[in-house]
Structure 1
């Protein structure tokens, strides 16, 4: 898969495609169905597929404090799109220039002159342009004028609900990881690189891997039973995700995972942390002693759970 970072990096070989546009946060089963149809259309027309995404996502640009929590950061999203057989991703910087483009200017610059789209597949509720005048009907009319076809993405349902990023976030907020897995088509996980932290957990006798999140908001907060894949094996553990109210911090969300009985060096490795069950909410403790007692209790609960329901160690 080719990743094109920015409109200015488009080359002749990137043009002439079937395309879709959106956030694709989480690349859930609804997105997967859309991408499958796009691949079929591309094969029928003999054209490559292109997904146009924005970074940051538009609501993160306009209202960063209240924007929805990210299900997947940019790197994860690109990997998920590649796994769905997408040929090309065009990632546009959502900035002042792009946010000020009218719907007509967006069509002309991105769809016609930039990508020379031959077919477009979007949700029937898709809106774009600084005046939000760009909707499905607008695109159909633009397609007639510029020579590309437009098709509405079909809604994917599960157990009576529309599969969407919003529904995935709701399932995660309710710690319903079974439902989240059904909506996503895979277990929910957060990926990131292990960085050096304050080493406080090590002083408390429970060394943790401090995982870089690179996002303002996360869809989970609290203490969870988790697991992580390391060198072809899955290790059970326990993780805290939140702002760590019991210690001085930067106020941003952090993910710290303690892997039971693991003794290797994880610094600078990229871990994929899978979430299985919520133990409790994140709490503020009056002292480090109280914090240590809570951590010890959480680990005891984790050991009891994993003893009763052991993970399959080998991933082969």
Structure 2
């Protein structure tokens, strides 16, 4: 996937450009409708579809104390977008200074950079720009002025509820992977890099990959049956998301993944982990032998 870091970089893309604009945290089914509208326009007009988002999430800059936990970090977002068929992402740097950009000026920047701008697709209720002054009506007005189409995609409802990142966060926080998958249009996953740990799992005979995850919204602590993707291949695994109370005191939660029927060096590699089901809550054991015996039972349960 081609990742652009400035609006001016749009000028290098073959137009007309079809821009899907939004925060797109999680890239759920509602987001996918916005992106699909841009893709269809690009196909019909032999142009280029581009997802335009912001890095970091605007709420992390504007109200950091109340910012929502992210469903996917930047690299995870790129991975998911690539799976939708999008080949280009513009990640606009978002700072306290850029937050003061008037809505019309932001759209004018897109118009000026594109060669040419064919359409902008957004969620119908999306607002943007300084003091959130920009909305679908402003976009339509500027579309008429600068000759680009505007698609205001209505909210998507499932079982009477509007699909939203907030609902998905709530489902994940309760370990409800079924609801999360329904709203996402795919299984909930976390993504991160394998870093070096204490190698305790290897000493116990169950080597684990310690994943430094990008996601901020994680399910409840516990032991899970999961699948882990290495390259293009998914492998069955057991994961412990917890503080390791048997061997550590007041440790920060970590994700440790033991791949079943697989061996190799994963240090420095990226791992995507798909949660299947909760096997048990996190427990403190009386010693390493008791912990080792329980891990063996966890592996049997994960295979079942």
TM-score with structure 1 setting the length = 0.83
Give the equivalent residue in structure 1 for 2:221.
Answer: 222
Where does structure 1 lack aligned partners over 5 or more consecutive residues?
A: 309-316
Which one is further off, 88-97 or 28-37?
A: 28-37
1:113 corresponds to 2:112: yes
**What's the CA shift string for 1:2-26, capped at 9, x where partnerless?**
3212235343435541212111122
Answer yes or no: is the 8 Å Cα contact 1:222–1:280 preserved in 2. Answer: no
Counterpart secondary structure, 2:13: helix
Give the equivalent residue in structure 2 for 1:98.
Answer: 98
Give the equivalent residue in structure 2 for 1:70.
Answer: 70
Which one is further off, 291-300 or 146-155?
A: 291-300
Give the equivalent residue in structure 2 for 1:303.
Answer: 300
Map 1:80-99 to 2 at 5 A: 80-99=80-99
Give the equivalent residue in structure 2 for 1:51.
Answer: 51
Give the equivalent residue in structure 2 for 1:256.
Answer: 256
Where does structure 2 lack aligned partners over 5 or more consecutive residues?
A: none
| Structure 2 Cα separation of the partners of residues 189 and 299 of structure 1 | 24
| Structure 1 Cα separation of the partners of residues 141 and 97 of structure 2 | 25
Which one is further off, 255-264 or 241-250?
A: 241-250
Structure 1's 278 and 112: CA in aligned 2 closer, same or farther, altered over 3 A?
same
| Structure 2 Cα separation of the partners of residues 150 and 8 of structure 1 | 21
| Structure 2 Cα separation of the partners of residues 12 and 72 of structure 1 | 28
**What's the CA shift string for 1:224-278, capped at 9, x where partnerless?**
2212234776433222235556636774x53211234544332223222110112
Counterpart secondary structure, 2:279: strand
Structure 1's 296 and 160: CA in aligned 2 closer, same or farther, altered over 3 A?
farther
Give the equivalent residue in structure 1 for 2:162.
Answer: 162
Answer yes or no: is the 8 Å Cα contact 1:59–1:67 preserved in 2. Answer: yes
- Tell me the number of residue pairs that the alignment of Structure 1 and Structure 2 aligns: 301
Map 1:1-316 to 2 at 5 A: 1-13=1-13, 16-109=16-109, 111-115=110-114, 116-214=116-214, 217-223=216-222, 224-230=224-230, 234-242=234-242, 247=248, 251=252, 253-260=253-260, 262-282=262-282, 285=284, 289=286, 293=290, 296-297=293-294, 299-306=296-303, 308=304
TM-score with structure 2 setting the length = 0.85
Answer yes or no: is the 8 Å Cα contact 1:238–1:299 preserved in 2. Answer: no
Structure 1's 120 and 242: CA in aligned 2 closer, same or farther, altered over 3 A?
farther
Across the aligned residues of Structure 1 and Structure 2, the Cα RMSD in angstroms comes to 2.8
| Structure 2 Cα separation of the partners of residues 234 and 43 of structure 1 | 32
Answer yes or no: is the 8 Å Cα contact 1:25–1:72 preserved in 2. Answer: yes
| Structure 1 Cα separation of the partners of residues 148 and 8 of structure 2 | 22
Counterpart secondary structure, 1:85: coil
| Structure 2 Cα separation of the partners of residues 249 and 189 of structure 1 | 26
| Structure 2 Cα separation of the partners of residues 35 and 261 of structure 1 | 38
| Structure 1 Cα separation of the partners of residues 74 and 232 of structure 2 | 24
The alpha-carbon deviation at position 190 of structure 1 amounts to 1.5
Which one is further off, 235-244 or 24-33?
A: 235-244
| Structure 2 Cα separation of the partners of residues 87 and 266 of structure 1 | 27
Which one is further off, 122-131 or 297-306?
A: 297-306
**What's the CA shift string for 1:192-234, capped at 9, x where partnerless?**
221112334444554321112235x233231222122347764
